[in-house]
Amino acid sequence: MNRDIFPGVLKSAVLALFLVGAIAPSSFAAQTAEQQLMAFNSEPLTIVSAKGQTHKFTVELALTPAQLEYGLMYRDKLPADHGMLFDFGAPRPVMMWMKNTKLSLDMLFLDQNGIITHIQEDAVPYSESIINSGGPIAYVIELNSGIVRKLGLAVGDKVTSATISAKLGK
């Protein structure tokens, strides 16, 4: 083999590594910027317990496929009276997970009428374990972990918001 080839090959390999290193951080920065730019509208939401107690929250709305996928990932904190409402359109079985989610959450699964049908308390941050809706649902509400226990929320409680009410009128 010709020894003169190796310096050229070595230079090409070093240049390729340099280019990969130069491109990867900018791609990572673009991805991080995109994650930080994910915008969610918000609205008031009320949960009325079977005992007649009313609990008010402000929820961000996950409505688009990108928002539904992104949810509360990468968040460092969530105010105590805030959460996220996921609207899946038509009722269907839903599977959630906590990948890239730093916060421990309580999940409320709702039918198309806004009735809680299933609750998952204390979902583990970063877990890739599947959290199953337990049947067809139309909505999921994510709240800070411990809220369900603190407020005594239960299956059968009624949830109202503008998003849920808009679909009930159809």
pLDDT digits (tens, 9 = 90+) for 8-38: 544 444 444 444 444 444 444 434 444 456 8
Distance CA 70, CA 84 (A): 11
Find the DSSP H helices in 38-154: 65-70, 147-151
- Chain-centroid distance of CA 1 in Å reads 57
For residues 43 and 59, give the distance between their C-alpha atoms in angstroms, rounded to a whole number. Answer: 6
* Cα torsion angle, 56, 119, 164, 68, sign: positive
Q: Which residue is listed with tokens 């609750």?
A: 119
Give the mean pLDDT of 85-92: 96
pTM of the model: 0.79
Q: How far apart are CA 91 and CA 95, in angstroms?
A: 13
**C-beta separation of 108 from 116 below 8 A:** yes
Lowest mean pLDDT of 28-32, 52-56, 155-159, name the range.
28-32
Q: In what order do the strands lie in the sheet with 54-62?
A: 116-123, 105-110, 131-144, 82-96, 54-62, 42-48, 158-161
- Reported as a pLDDT band with limits 50, 70 and 90, residue 91 is very high
